[in-house]
């Protein structure tokens, strides 16, 4: 029997996250190409409730242990290492959890790993991954014919899989001792209650480092007022404290899918693209024509947002008056 | 307590990056190599710990263009010992590099290894987490703050949606940093120049990565646009008029009602 | 005089003199020692004739002080009174010590003129302080000031009293004789009374003088000694040069007053806390947390502090005694320096303190980013060098690289004019003007880097040296006769800072080059019929003395020029200079650009604010948004007047 294709389920508060659905897409393609089973792997309790959200997988393998309820790096690596060593799947695909787990597992098992893959195909028996490198300015095609490969997929790079039947759940006992953990979960700090929910806003004016100075935010505020939009920010801008963390878009911020996402002075680091590429209409303004944001933008303006934002505000107001 | 900070020189992402004729490496022109941005956080957090009397910072940099400057800068900022890992690391990916580092750190005892959460050249995986795996040490990646106790480090890990998880990590451990308690400190150029003259770089014995690399770089290429971007041109007011037309056509903003 | 009185007065005089000497030993000696220990200053003995002339004009004739007529007049009266009275006082004491010295020439009536002049000055001074209450004096030590006025009045009263009771009054001493007649009329002519009156007068005169002398070393009035050498040794030559010719080996960072040169210390001792610098400071006027006068006061306090500062001798001044927000409020505009009657140089202290902040590594993120980018990319905009000449792509002619082709004018474009989309349209228009004028001009293209004018003023001298080195290499590879730039900050670096590095080619501002083209008939301008005001860029005007060419150019275009209240040497900065334009989180307070714009807006009928500096264009365009005022670069107007604007 050819080695299985595994994906690692990502869920939050009993809900399967969209990244998992993307993993199912990528996994399904590989499984079909290899003639293998697609198995979703879930660590922690609550597998039954998650199963309907994992339609498309052939099976759901669940290690039902309360200590695994939250991502605990050391425990998760231990359990996955034991599972992989014992069951030898051909591929394990991960999403955001991959940033934490892929490399450590690969090194422990001495198997190859790929990061930030936006494409994965099988050429004969060789896996070819296309990885986003150098801040998205270049792609690296990496190949491996090893019997087991771990891959971390770039969130947003694969479309979610259309619905299918829910997989059968196979619960197994924890294959390894969880005593004396190397990492102990101490607690979760929730962000301060947000004064706005940018995930619910239909129009986002999002500012990045290109805005230059905190005082230039008024340019974006003016446009937001004229357009009926909400202000959002890239990580550096939130990090500088120019806008509250609650308005940060990206991997460590919010994932947004607004009607319009206007990126002003945002270059488009992979972690940012991940949080916004699902927007229906993306307009990007940046001085660097090579900025990765233009790879996801529908409309691009190579220019300075300090100039374009007020011009657009003026045009909107003029149109309103007309 | 010894804190080993692993720093890497990476290509400067400002401006055009071009692939060399071999299709596998970058054409070295324009901007040189600079310290990986995430590694700056790791160094800063380590120096903050040292300033708080919680440890002594040692720095390890794999040889590359710009590596000496990185060592000098870390020295000038307060690192107590700086090590250069000789060798050519461009073709071996982080995998080969992490293996070599795992080998040499056995002779550089440290309770804590800090490095950046990721680097722009990670096609295989981040250096820090690979190293954790080779060393079989506990790790946390995506950490923005570290405090030290007797035998553990307490860390804050950034999660999605602004949530932060706190972990106690048993030492020795490896942490990948995404932030620090303060922004990386600035080093005036004359201090760097002075340090470049005086930095006592300790060159480690040469190691060659053992064993075959599990994956191969086939080629580097410029990304095709994921979707065809329509570029709007002209002076700001012309661009604004075109944007206005787009918004109108797409029924966005005040034209949202028109769509219903 | 009775033989009983003389030893008493003599004894008291000796006692007083000993007290004054002790005060100088205790308070004055450490200052002298600090001056001896201080870092060396640059050559100060060059051009002795000019220095003496300046001493006469400024220290004696009060040229700068009289810019404020009333306060200046008060000071002049006091000064003249002092000069007239002091020799008489000294003579009185000497004669008392040895009657044979009575052969010394008597000052006579001049002393009385001095008494009247000094009294008038003191009263005017008191009135100025108490009634006019000028804002610039806020923060100055009022007790010190009133105390000194009191001393002066006592001394003057003493001189008059003494003369009036003198046994053999000087025939020319009209005041003494008039008072003497008054005493006689009042019946105070008995020998005992006269002796008592004389003794009282003597004690007031000599005693108060000695007390004053003893008080001086701990007071701002030390300036009556320090200001003379300070004016004599002042900076001559190019004002715009900040980089020292021989940089101190330990770096320019000022961690404590021990890191200052003796000339810096003399500056501190010369400062009379008059507050003229504060009144001229655009940051202070806008409400930013900076007063150059307070800075001087703080540093002077550190210099005169008898014990080590709190936090130990090693504690840095920057960030403690002088706050970081104060230091980052300074736009290095030089208005303070221009206003100072004793020629204090404030900027080197600010920059030295900033350098100390940099050594600590804690600085504004925007500033840090700009500095890193300057080092890595050679520009502060975070753009690649290859994009520097991208602005030329909008032209229908190529602009040669002066390294490959000899040109008449090398255009040093600068970061803002090269990269900033708000400035690029003006850059292109100037290129078209030059092209139309058949001037052979070229660029350094991707070899040009920011000249480091602001890096230096931020306190990053190492970065400045590195940038200068890169530019000088490129400049050495190019062939050209003159250099032209639209950016006064580039002009200042190339003209002044690079001169001491061996670069001597003439550097023109584009206003000068354009005026030349108009004068020689190459460019023909037609009247624009505008009513406009012109903002003098700090680094073109005050620091480089280019005031007339832009105005003459405006006149040639038929522009009706209306000056703002602050113009020319007294022009008020937009707030961008000294690296402030890079700050991501500027110190809280007002906005100098908005304040300056108010001046332009207050001028009746003025529709245009003409600027001649890329940073001004950026600052004022932002500040003028929503106002009827149009901000235009000088070259834009010339472009229109030359008939090149297709819109016309």
B248 pLDDT band, cuts 50/70/90, is: confident
CB-neighbour burial class of residue A44 (10 A; exposed 0-12, middle 13-18, buried 19+): buried
Q: Which secondary-structure segment (H or E) carries C180?
A: helix C174-185
User: Which of A144, A146, A299 has its CB closest to that of B229?
Assistant: A299
Whether C168 shows a pLDDT value over 90: the answer reads no
pLDDT in tens, C371-412: 999 999 999 988 889 889 989 987 999 999 999 999 999 999
Residue A151 has what pLDDT?
96
pLDDT-wise least confident of A79-93, A183-197, B128-142, C579-593: A183-197
Neighbours of C520 (CB within 10 A): 9
Best of C318, C355, C361, C582 to substitute, by most chain B Cβ atoms within 10 angstroms, is: C361
Length of chain A counted residue by residue? 322
B15 contact residues in C (CB cutoff 8 A): 377, 383-387
Tokens encoding C112:
């009385």
CB interface of A with B, residues 72-131, below 8 Å = 72-74, 77, 96, 99-108, 110-116, 128, 131
C287 in contact with A, Cβ within 8 Å: no
Work out the mean pLDDT of chain C and round it to a whole number. Answer: 91
**Strand ranges (E), C8-121:** none
Q: Which residues contact C18 (CB under 8 A, 6 or more apart)?
A: none
3-state secondary structure C294-358: HHHHHHHHHHHCCCCCCCCCCCCCECCCECHHHHCCCCCCCHHHHHCCCCCCCHHHHHHHHHHHH
Residues C588-613, mean pLDDT to the nearest whole number: 95
- Looking at the complex, report in whole angstroms how far the Cα of residue B223 sits from the nearest Cα belonging to chain C: 20
Map residue C561 onto helix, strand or coil: strand
Task: Give the other-Cβ count within 10 Å of A50's Cβ.
Answer: 23
A49 touching B (Cβ < 8 Å): no
The closest CB to that of A133, out of B122, B161, B162, belongs to B122
C-alpha distance from B90 to closest chain C C-alpha (Å): 22
For residue C582, pLDDT over 50 is answered with yes
* Rounded distance between C-alpha atoms, residue C449 and residue B74, angstroms: 26
CA distance C608 to chain A (A): 20
Coil/strand/helix, residue B31 = coil
ipTM: 0.88
* CA C137 – CA C144 distance, rounded (Å): 12
The domain made up of B2-203 is a member of CATH 3.40.50.620:
yes
**Residue B255 banded pLDDT, cuts 50, 70, 90:** low
Distance CA C507, CA C485 (A): 8
* Residue C207 to chain B, least CA–CA distance (Å): 55
Burial C564-574 (b: 16+ CB within 10 A, else e): bebbeebbbbb
Taking each continuous run of H as one helix and of E as one strand, the counts in chain C are 28, 8
| pLDDT tens string B5-26 | 999 999 888 877 888 888 888 8
Architecture of domain C257-360: Orthogonal Bundle (1.10)
Record: contact A104-B154, CB cut-off 8 A: no
Q: CA torsion angle for B130, B133, B136, B138 (degrees, to 10)? A: 80
* Nearest to A260, CA basis, from A196, A197, A198: A198
Quote the tokens at residue C425: 């349209």
Query: Is residue C247 very low, low, confident or very high in pLDDT (cuts 50, 70, 90)?
Result: confident
| pLDDT reported for residue A319 | 84
**pLDDT value of position B156:** 96
pLDDT for B259 equals 37
Residue C388 sits at φ, ψ, to 5 deg, of -60, -40
Residue C399's pLDDT is what? 96
A240/C422 Cβ within 8 A: no
> How far is B182 from B179, CA to CA, in rounded Å?
8
Residue C526 C-alpha, separation from nearest chain B C-alpha, in angstroms = 27
Per-residue pLDDT of C175-231, as tens digits, reads: 888 888 888 888 887 888 888 888 999 999 998 899 989 988 878 888 999 999 999
β-pair partners for C609: C533, C631
Least CB-CB distance to C421: which of A240, A242, A304? A304
The answer to whether residue C415 neighbours chain A at the CB level (below 8 Å) is no
Strands (E), C434-553: 441-442, 482-485, 507-509, 531-534
- How many CA atoms are closer than 13 Å to the CA of A162, on its beta-carbon side? 0
The Cβ of residue C244 has, within 10 Å, a number of other Cβ atoms equal to 16
Strand pairing partners for A7? A40, A93
In the sheet where A183-189 sits, what is the strand order? A183-189, B164-170, B152-158, B139-148, B173-177, B112-116, B2-6, B56-62, B81-85, B201-203
C contact set with B (CB within 8 A): 251, 355, 358-363, 365, 368, 371-373, 375-377, 382-387, 421, 425, 459-463, 465-466
Query: Each residue of A49-66: pLDDT tens digit?
Result: 999 888 889 999 999 999
B100 near A CB under 8 A: no
Strand partners, B85: B62
Residues C125-151 have pLDDT tens digits of 999 988 888 888 887 888 888 888 888
Q: Per-residue pLDDT tens for C72-122? A: 999 999 999 989 898 888 888 888 888 888 777 777 788 889 999 999 999
Spell out which residues of chain A touch residue B125, defining contact as CB-CB under 8 Å. 102-103, 106, 113-115, 152
Sign of the Cα torsion C57, C59, C64, C66 reads negative
Kindly state the tokens that stand for C234.
């002042």
Facing A304 at nearest CB: one of C365, C422, C586: C422
Whether residue A213 and residue C584 make contact (CB cut-off 8 A), yes or no, is yes
- pLDDT > 90 fraction of chain C, expressed in percent and rounded: 64
The whole-angstrom separation of Cα C493 and Cα C510 is 15
Residue with tokens 């004022």: C620
DSSP string across C570-586: G----S-TTTGGG-SSP
Kind and range of the H or E run holding C553: helix C548-556
Tokens linked to A245: 């963390």
Report d(CA C76, CA C150) in Å as an integer. 17
**Residue C422 distance to chain A (closest CA, Å):** 7
Least confident of A101-115, A282-296, B202-216, C620-634: B202-216
Same fold for the pair A5-172 and A198-321 = yes
Q: What is the arithmetic mean of pLDDT over A7-19?
A: 88
Q: Which of B14, B48, B235 to mutate to test the interface with C (most CBs of C within 10 A)?
A: B14
Size of interface A-B (CB pairs under 8 A): 292
Q: B14 and C376 in contact by Cβ < 8 A?
A: yes
**Fold agreement between C5-232 and C257-360:** no
Are the CB atoms for C216 and C225 separated by under 8 Å? Answer: yes
Closest chain A residue by Cα to residue C619: A216
Neighbours of chain B (3+ CB pairs under 8 A): A, C
Q: Where in chain B is the domain with CATH 3.40.50.620?
A: 2-203
Q: What is the pLDDT of residue C265?
A: 95
Q: Which residue of C has its CA nearest to B33?
A: C376
CATH of A198-321, one of 1.10.645.10, 3.40.50.150, 3.40.50.1220, 3.90.1150.10: 3.40.50.1220
CA atoms of A198 and A207, how far apart (whole Å): 13
Residue window 270-309, chain A: list those with CB within 8 Å of chain B. 281, 283-284, 288, 290, 292, 294-303, 307-308
Domain A5-172, CATH class in plain words: alpha beta
> Residue C2's pLDDT is what?
63
Which of A213, A288, A307 is facing C583, going by the closest CB pair? A213
Does C527 lie at the interface with A, CB-CB under 8 angstroms? Answer: no
Provide the 8-state DSSP code for C401.
B
| 8 A C-beta contact, residue A202 and residue A259 | yes
What does the buried/exposed string (b/e) look like for A126-146 if buried means 16 or more CB atoms within 10 Å of the residue's CB?
ebbbbbbbbbbbbbbbbbbeb
Q: What share of chain C is helix, strand, coil (3-state, %, to 5)?
A: 60, 5, 35
Rounded distance, CA A76 to CA B185, Å? 35
Residue B127 contacts residue B101 (beta carbons within 8 Å): yes
Q: Which chains touch A (3 or more CB pairs under 8 A)?
A: B, C
Pairing of strands B81-85, C507-509: unpaired
Neighbours of chain C (3+ CB pairs under 8 A): A, B
Asked if the model's pLDDT at residue C421 lies above 80, the reply is no
Q: What is the pLDDT of residues C172-184, one digit of tens each?
A: 888 888 888 888 8
DSSP C115: H
pLDDT of residue B258 exceeding 50: no
CA triple C409-C415-C417, angle to 5 deg: 65
What angle is formed at CA C359 by the lines to CA C356 and CA C360, rounded to 5 degrees?
Answer: 95
CB C279 within 8 A of CB C136: yes
Q: Where are the domains of chain A?
A: 5-172, 198-321
- pLDDT number for residue B254: 62
Tell which phi-psi region holds residue B136, choosing left (phi > 0), alpha (psi between -120 and 50) or beta: left
Give the model confidence (pLDDT) of B63-120 as tens digits.
Answer: 998 999 999 999 999 999 999 999 988 778 888 899 999 999 988 989 999 999 998 8
Q: Going by DSSP bridges, is the β-strand pair A11-12/A59-63 parallel, antiparallel, or unpaired?
A: unpaired
- Shortest Cα distance from C469 to chain A (angstroms)? 28
A-chain residue closest to B224, CA distance: A295
Distance CA A274, CA A250 (A): 6
Residue matched to tokens 């000069």: C83
- B191 contact residues in C (CB cutoff 8 A): 359, 462
Q: Do B252 and A281 count as a contact with CB atoms less than 8 A apart?
A: yes
CATH architecture of the domain with residue range C5-232: Up-down Bundle (1.20)
Q: From the CA of A137, how many Å to the nearest CA of chain C?
A: 14
* Yes or no, beta carbons of B179 and A71 under 8 Å apart: no
C421 CB near a chain A CB, below 8 Å?
yes
- Closest-CA residue of B relative to A272 is B160
Q: Name the one residue in this structure whose structure tokens are 């008995």.
A: C190
User: Omega into B172 within 30° of 0, i.e. cis?
Assistant: yes
Q: Which residue has the tokens 């400190």?
A: B185
Query: Quick one: closest CA in C to A212, which residue?
Result: C584
CB atoms within 10 A of CB A216: 21
Q: Phi-psi bin for C626: left (phi > 0), alpha (psi -120 to 50), beta? A: left
CA distance B255 to chain C (A): 26
| pLDDT score for C313 | 54
* Measured distance CA(C189)–CA(C184) in Å, rounded: 5
Q: What is the domain partition of chain C in residue ranges?
A: 5-232, 257-360, 367-641
Sheet holding A260-264: strands in order across? A230-233, A203-207, A260-264, A281-286, A299-302, B230-231
| Interatomic CA distance for residues A279 and A202, integer angstroms | 9
Residues whose CB falls within 8 Å of the CB of residue C504, separated by 6 or more in sequence, listed in order: none
């Amino acid at each position: 029997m050819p080695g299985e294709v595994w994906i690692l389920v990502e869920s939050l508060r009993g809900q399967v996250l969209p990244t998992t659905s993307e993993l199912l897409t990528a996994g399904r393609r590989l499984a079909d190409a290899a003639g293998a089973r697609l198995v979703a792997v879930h660590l922690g309790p609550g597998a039954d409730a998650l199963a309907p959200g994992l339609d498309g997988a052939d099976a759901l393998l669940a290690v039902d242990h309360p200590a695994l309820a939250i991502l605990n790096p050391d425990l998760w690596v231990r359990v996955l290492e034991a599972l992989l060593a014992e069951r030898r799947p051909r591929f394990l695909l991960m999403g955001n959890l991959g940033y934490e787990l892929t490399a450590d597992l690969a090194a422990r098992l001495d198997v190859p790993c790929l990061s930030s893959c936006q494409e994965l195909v099988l050429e004969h028996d060789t896996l070819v991954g296309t990885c986003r490198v150098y801040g998205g300015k270049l792609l690296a095609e990496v190949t491996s014919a090893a019997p087991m490969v771990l891959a971390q997929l770039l969130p947003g790079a694969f479309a979610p899989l259309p619905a299918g039947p829910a997989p059968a759940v196979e619960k197994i006992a924890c294959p390894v001792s969880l005593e004396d953990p190397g990492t102990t979960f101490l607690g979760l700090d929730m962000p301060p209650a947000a004064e706005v929910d940018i995930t619910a806003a239909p129009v986002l004016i999002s500012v990045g480092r290109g805005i230059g100075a905190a005082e230039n935010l008024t340019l974006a505020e003016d446009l937001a007022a004229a357009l009926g939009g909400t202000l959002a920010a890239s990580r550096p801008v939130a990090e500088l404290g120019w806008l509250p963390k609650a308005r940060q878009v990206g991997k460590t911020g919010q994932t947004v899918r607004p009607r319009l996402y206007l990126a002003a002075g945002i270059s488009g680091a992979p972690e940012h693209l991940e949080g916004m590429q699902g927007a229906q209409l993306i307009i990007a303004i940046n001085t660097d024509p090579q900025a990765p944001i233009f790879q996801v933008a529908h409309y691009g303006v190579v220019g300075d947002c300090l100039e374009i934002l007020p011009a657009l505000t003026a045009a909107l107001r003029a149109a309103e008056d007309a | 307590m010894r804190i080993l900070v692993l720093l890497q020189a990476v290509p400067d992402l400002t401006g055009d990056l071009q692939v060399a004729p071999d299709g596998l490496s970058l054409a070295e022109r324009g901007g040189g190599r600079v310290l990986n941005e995430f590694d700056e956080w790791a160094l800063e957090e380590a120096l903050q710990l040292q300033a708080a009397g919680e440890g002594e910072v040692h720095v390890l940099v794999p040889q590359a263009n710009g590596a000496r400057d990185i060592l000098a800068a870390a020295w000038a900022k307060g690192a107590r010992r700086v090590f250069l890992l000789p060798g050519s690391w461009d073709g071996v990916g982080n995998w080969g590099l992490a293996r070599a580092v795992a080998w040499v750190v056995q002779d550089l005892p440290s309770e804590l290894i800090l490095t950046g959460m990721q680097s722009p050249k990670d096609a295989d995986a981040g250096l820090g987490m690979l190293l954790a795996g080779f060393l079989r040490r506990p790790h946390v990646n995506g950490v923005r703050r570290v405090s030290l106790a007797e035998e553990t480090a307490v860390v804050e890990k950034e999660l999605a949606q602004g949530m932060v998880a706190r972990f106690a990590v048993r030492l020795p451990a490896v942490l990948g940093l995404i932030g620090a308690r303060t922004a990386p400190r600035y080093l005036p150029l004359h201090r760097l120049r002075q340090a470049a003259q005086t930095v006592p770089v300790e060159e480690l014995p040469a190691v060659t990565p053992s064993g075959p690399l599990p994956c191969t770089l086939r080629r580097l290429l410029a990304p095709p646009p994921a979707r065809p971007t329509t570029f709007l041109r002209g002076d700001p007011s012309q661009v604004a008029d075109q944007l206005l037309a787009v918004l109108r056509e797409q029924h966005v903003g005040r034209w949202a009602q028109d769509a219903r | 005089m009775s033989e009983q009185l003389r030893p008493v007065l003599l004894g008291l005089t000796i006692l007083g003199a000993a007290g004054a000497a002790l005060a100088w030993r205790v308070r004055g000696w450490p200052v002298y020692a600090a001056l001896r220990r201080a870092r060396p200053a640059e050559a100060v003995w060059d051009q002795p004739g000019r220095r003496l002339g300046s001493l006469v004009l400024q220290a004696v004739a009060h040229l700068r002080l009289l810019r404020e007529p009333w306060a200046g007049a008060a000071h002049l009266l006091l000064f003249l009174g002092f000069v007239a009275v002091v020799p008489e006082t000294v003579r009185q004491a000497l004669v008392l010590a040895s009657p044979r010295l009575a052969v010394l020439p008597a000052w006579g009536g001049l002393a009385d003129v001095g008494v009247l002049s000094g009294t008038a000055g003191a009263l005017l001074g008191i009135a100025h302080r108490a009634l006019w209450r000028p804002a610039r004096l806020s923060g100055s030590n009022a007790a010190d000031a009133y105390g000194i006025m009191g001393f002066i009045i006592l001394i003057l009263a003493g001189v008059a009293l003494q003369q009036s009771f003198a046994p053999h009054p000087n025939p020319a001493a009209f005041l003494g004789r008039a008072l003497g007649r008054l005493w006689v009329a009042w019946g105070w002519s008995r020998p005992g009374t006269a002796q008592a009156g004389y003794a009282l007068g003597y004690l007031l005169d000599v005693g108060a003088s000695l007390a004053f002398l003893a008080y001086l070393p701990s007071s701002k009035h030390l300036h009556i000694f320090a200001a003379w050498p300070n004016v004599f040794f002042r900076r001559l030559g190019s004002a715009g040069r900040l980089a020292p010719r021989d940089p101190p080996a330990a770096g320019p960072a000022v961690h404590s007053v021990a890191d200052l040169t003796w000339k810096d210390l003399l500056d501190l001792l010369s400062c009379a806390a008059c507050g003229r610098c504060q009144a001229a400071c655009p940051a202070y006027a806008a409400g930013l947390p900076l007063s150059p006068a307070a800075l001087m006061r703080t540093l002077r306090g550190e210099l005169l502090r008898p014990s080590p500062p709190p936090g130990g001798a090693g504690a840095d001044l920057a960030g403690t005694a002088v706050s970081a927000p104060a230091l980052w409020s300074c736009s290095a505009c030089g208005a303070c320096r221009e206003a100072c009657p004793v020629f204090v140089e404030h900027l080197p202290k600010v920059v030295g303190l900033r350098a100390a902040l940099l050594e600590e590594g804690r600085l504004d993120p925007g500033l840090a980013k700009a500095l890193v980018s300057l080092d890595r990319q050679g520009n502060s905009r975070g753009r690649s060098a290859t994009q520097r000449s991208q602005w030329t792509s909008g032209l229908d002619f190529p602009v040669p690289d002066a390294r490959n082709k000899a040109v008449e004018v090398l255009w040093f474009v600068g970061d803002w004019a090269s990269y900033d989309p708000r400035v690029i349209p003006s850059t292109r228009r100037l290129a078209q003007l030059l092209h139309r004028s058949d001037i052979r001009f070229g660029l350094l293209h991707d070899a040009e880097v920011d000249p480091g004018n602001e890096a230096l003023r931020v306190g990053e001298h190492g970065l400045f040296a590195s940038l200068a080195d890169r530019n000088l290499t490129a400049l050495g590879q190019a062939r050209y006769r003159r250099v032209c730039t639209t950016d006064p900050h580039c002009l200042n670096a190339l003209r002044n800072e690079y001169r001491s590095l061996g670069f001597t080619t003439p550097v023109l501002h584009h206003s000068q080059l354009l005026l030349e083209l108009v004068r020689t008939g190459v460019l023909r301008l037609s009247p624009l019929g505008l009513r406009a005001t012109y903002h003098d860029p700090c680094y073109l005007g005050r620091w480089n003395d280019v005031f007339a060419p832009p105005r003459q150019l405006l006149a040639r275009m038929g522009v009706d020029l209306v000056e703002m209240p602050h113009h020319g040497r007294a022009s008020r900065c937009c707030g961008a200079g000294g690296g402030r334009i890079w700050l991501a989180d500027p110190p809280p307070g007002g906005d100098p650009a908005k304040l300056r714009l108010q001046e332009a807006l207050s001028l009746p009928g003025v529709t245009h604010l003409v600027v001649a500096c890329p940073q001004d264009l950026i600052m004022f365009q932002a500040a003028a948004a929503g106002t009827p005022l149009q901000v235009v670069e000088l070259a834009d107007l010339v472009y229109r007047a030359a008939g090149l604007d297709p819109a016309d």
